[in-house]
Amino acid sequence: MAAAPVDLPGAVVPAVLTPVRADLAIDHDAFAEHCRWLLAHGCDGLAPMGTTGEANSFSVAERTEALERLVAAGVPAARMIVGVGCCAIPDTVALARHAVELGVGGVLALPPFYYKNVSDDGLYAAYDQVIQRVADARLRLYLYHFPQMSGVPLSRALVARLRAAYPDTVVGLKDSSGDWDNMKALCEMLPGFRVYAGTERYLLALLRTGGAGTISSTVNVTCALAARVAARPDAPEADALQERLTAVRDAIERRPPAIPALKRLVAERTGHEGWRYARPPHLPLDDERFAQVKAGLQALDFALPGG
Amino acid sequence: MAAAPVDLPGAVVPAVLTPVRADLAIDHDAFAEHCRWLLAHGCDGLAPMGTTGEANSFSVAERTEALERLVAAGVPAARMIVGVGCCAIPDTVALARHAVELGVGGVLALPPFYYKNVSDDGLYAAYDQVIQRVADARLRLYLYHFPQMSGVPLSRALVARLRAAYPDTVVGLKDSSGDWDNMKALCEMLPGFRVYAGTERYLLALLRTGGAGTISSTVNVTCALAARVAARPDAPEADALQERLTAVRDAIERRPPAIPALKRLVAERTGHEGWRYARPPHLPLDDERFAQVKAGLQALDFALPGG
């Protein structure tokens, strides 16, 4: 297989929100505009169609169309790590193949997540099927470990086995478990493996441990601050910047649900009210809860750039 | 909306296994043959493409083709309750509309199951969207409560709200929680609502409480015995029959994983070795575990009919 492309997405990567209209169809123009704004405000890459992007609330056809339209609108595919993990292997294969053909920097794949308490052998077989069926040397696959949401953890033994079997394909992992010890152990166990934290809370610590950075929901609003942390992780001021970044993250995370809250923050930044909508089971955030989120950010003197 | 069709599936309904070939594509001939065998051996209806049927391991296109080919092979659509619940509303809508157009007796719908800790309002909105978008008076929807697998419980308050809003459409529920108190409470709370237990363990108790019956994985092998329980729930011998039915269920359930075990039992009954295959994350059951399952059934003198 060919060597990894040189322009792999860097340290600060938002799990990009997906705007929908009142009829719940994707608002492609607002989507491209937000992606461009993110890249102009400190993001090294983009991770569309992940958990934050409500990916699993969209059909395969909606997801492929959305990606095509982003690329057509000039959003650089090579800087994207695109979510592709579905319950059904054929769906994951279709999404991954499509993304690779568009020239993405990588794909982020949940394990099949309907069945619980499945064996590591079964999960290995699922990823193996995806890689074999995509059958493309350009595939760069990031495993997605998010046990609280998927209900299907990826053990370090499974990760190591997949990495050993496909060293040029299984290039990294997003760890949304919140378990710092697991992220650290992965970095130490697999040198060169690109470990992303699912929260920017661990951005600095992970960069200092040889990790790749963060792929995070809240980076949709914290990107400029996160970029300052990632720019010079060894600088003396990095710790204070990280502390502030963590406080902003906390202020949003502490007041769930995060996806509708982040959407309202983008609605406010852009003046585009359509950003409030979300696909069920998510609902638009009500005014009272949004006021609490804003109060939390104001208490930190945190103003959205461009807002 | 029109009244419910008179030929609603009855009390004994297997969650039908889906046979796949070595290449993991659905074996349509073996599927139809098994459905016919089930109807000839005590089943009142069929619930294909549910959890046991590995439905979420197949794409929408694979699921619609499978259903079409079953109906083309003479399996009566009106006796089917077809699984349609996906994470993405457009997928659930596509599957439900397709099933209704084929004339099924009902559809069984999981809530969108990727996101956890969502609100009842959000789940209500998801089901509401499905019903509004299918927009067909022939739709008979069974809610699917399986918190251990989906991670998304359906509260009784939510069930009551959906039933009240759509009394001719939301006709029943499959309760795979294993929580007898919940099944009993649903029967008492909503007279006329068709409550199915996800295990035949509660078949007799549920029939005596006004429930509809069972939709269960193990009915793929226990059907003849389950039919004897359901035939005369008030007969004096029903309790002893139920006790034996529960013991057989236990013997399989106690030795997970159940789906590969059931597939090997059908492989043995039919002599068709292809029945062993399963889509990852499921794997074929190894010989040692299968020997344990068989020993458990032999200890009960339980022989598969036709085997």
Tens of pLDDT, residues B120-175? 999 999 999 999 999 999 999 999 999 999 999 999 999 999 999 999 999 999 99
Contact at CB, B282 and A57, closer than 8 angstroms: no
Name which residue leads in pLDDT, A61 or A6: A61
> Best of B64, B91, B95, B259 to disrupt the A interface by mutation (most A CBs within 10 Å)?
B91
Q: What is the pTM of this model?
A: 0.96
Q: What average pLDDT does this structure show over A185-204?
A: 98
DSSP for B44-76?
A: S-BB-SSTTTTGGGS-HHHHHHHHHHHHHTT--
Prior bond of B153 cis (ω within 30°) = no
Q: Could you report the per-residue pLDDT of B245-269, keeping only the tens digit for each?
A: 999 999 999 999 999 999 999 999 9
Contact at CB, A115 and B58, closer than 8 angstroms: no
On the question of pLDDT at B217 being above 60, the answer is yes
Question: Given this model, what pLDDT does residue A9 score?
Answer: 82
On the question of pLDDT at B36 being above 70, the answer is yes
On the question of pLDDT at A3 being above 90, the answer is no
**Top CATH class, B12-232:** alpha beta
- Among partner residues A24, A123, A281, which is closest to B118 by beta-carbon distance? A281
Name the DSSP letter for residue A63.
H
pLDDT > 70: what percent of chain B? 97
Q: What average pLDDT does this structure show over B72-85?
A: 98
- Among partner residues A125, A149, A280, which is closest to B280 by beta-carbon distance? A125
**Distance from C-alpha of B150 to C-alpha of A197, rounded to nearest angstrom:** 25
Q: Could you report the per-residue pLDDT of B174-195, keeping only the tens digit for each?
A: 999 999 999 999 999 999 999 9
Q: For domain A12-233, give the CATH superfamily.
A: Aldolase class I (3.20.20.70)
Among B18, B51, B64, B246, the one annotated catalytic: B51
DSSP for A75-114?
A: --GGGBEEE---SSHHHHHHHHHHHHHTT-SEEEEPPP-S
> Best of A84, A87, A253 to disrupt the B interface by mutation (most B CBs within 10 Å)?
A87
| Chain B positions touching chain A (beta carbons under 8 Å) | 24, 51, 56-60, 62, 87-91, 94, 111-119, 121-123, 125-126, 128-129, 148-152, 256-257, 279-283
pLDDT > 90: what percent of chain A? 95
Q: How confident is the model at residue B303 (pLDDT cuts 50, 70, 90)?
A: confident
> Radius of gyration of chain A from Cα atoms?
18
- What are the residue boundaries of the structural domains of chain B, listed by start? 12-232
Burial class (CB in 10 A: 0-12, 13-18, 19+), B288: exposed
Query: Looking at CA atoms only, how far is residue B282 from chain A in angstroms?
Result: 6
DSSP for B195-255?
A: EEESSGGGHHHHHHTT--EEEESTHHHHHHHHHHHHH-TTSTTHHHHHHHHHHHHHHHHTS
**What ipTM, to 2 d.p.?**
0.96
* Contact residues for B287 (Cβ-Cβ < 8 A; gap 6+): none
SS3 readout for A213-267: EEEECCHHHHHHHHHHHHHCCCCCCHHHHHHHHHHHHHHHHCCCCHHHHHHHHHH
- Among partner residues B88, B123, B282, which is closest to A122 by beta-carbon distance? B282
